[in-house]
Amino acid sequence: MTNAFERHGLDHLSASSINLFVAQPAMWAMQKLLGHKSRVGAAAHRGTAVEAGVEMGLFDPNLPLEDCQEAARARFNQLTALSADPNVEKERAGIASAVAIALGELRQYGIPGSADGTRQHRIEVELPGVPVPFIGWLDFWYPDHGIIIDLKTQGRLSSKISDPHARQGAIYHAAHGNSEIRFAYVTPQKIGVYRLEDPRLHLDRVVSIARSIERFLSLSEDGAELTAALSPDLDSFYWNDPGARAAAQEIWGLAPEAMPQA
């Protein structure tokens, strides 16, 4: 007998999926049940680019910083080549310094572990009471130290681990229970590295959200019906992508004049 996830073609969950369901359930339904994807903005591309440069510098500790910075900028330019986001130049300007600050801190941990030539490690973990597994990727795993580090870029430095990130870390901890989970938040000016406390508490929240999703999916086998039962929060930055807003107009029958400006 299939479960509610499988009936809607969902064979796994992830930290980003459950966090999106909490923050923007209408967008979650639009993406997961109707297949409408949303493009991310320049800030997200900044994160991908900085991580690419930092990864190069961590796995090759003798590589000059300038090479890592150039690789990060090249990655950002590639990702934003067709972007209409007005913040592209602003985000590009902070990439080099963020790479320098992150490497200055994280190179102290040594070279991350790798498996089968793969720098990022795939995890898959089953949680009690959730009928589908959670899948994710670790940024930097140091098995000799028993530490997993996830890198996050920001415009303004956080003073603590956010709840969505804590849920992500709890899933990592469930997959590697003997490892300490740390989040490295880096801005163009500074870095903060925070240890995840009491991951089991956050894991309980992960399971609770997954069960809420399952109950929601159980209400109908029609993904369009489920999506229509929700209402999008178009003032949120999640809906800044013109494609997502066009899809919202189509799905929920919103008149153009009712659509707030991104």
pLDDT band at 83 (very low <50, low <70, confident <90, very high): confident
Residue 142 in 3-state DSSP? strand
pTM listed for this prediction: 0.92
Residue 86 in 3-state DSSP? coil
The chain-wide mean pLDDT, for the chain, equals: 94
Question: What Rg, from alpha-carbon coordinates, does the chain have?
Answer: 20
Give yes or no for a contact between 123 and 136, defined as CB atoms under 8 angstroms apart. Answer: yes
- What gap in Å lies between CA 110 and CA 128, rounded to an integer? 35
Q: In this predicted model, what pLDDT tens digit does every residue of 84-127 receive, in sequence order?
A: 889 999 999 999 999 999 999 999 999 999 766 668 789 999 99
Give yes or no for a contact between 57 and 99, defined as CB atoms under 8 angstroms apart. Answer: yes
Q: Give residue 256's identity as a one-letter amino acid code.
A: P
Q: In this predicted model, what pLDDT tens digit does every residue of 218-240 receive, in sequence order?
A: 999 999 999 999 999 999 999 98
Helices (H), 80-222: 88-93, 95-106, 163-175, 199-217
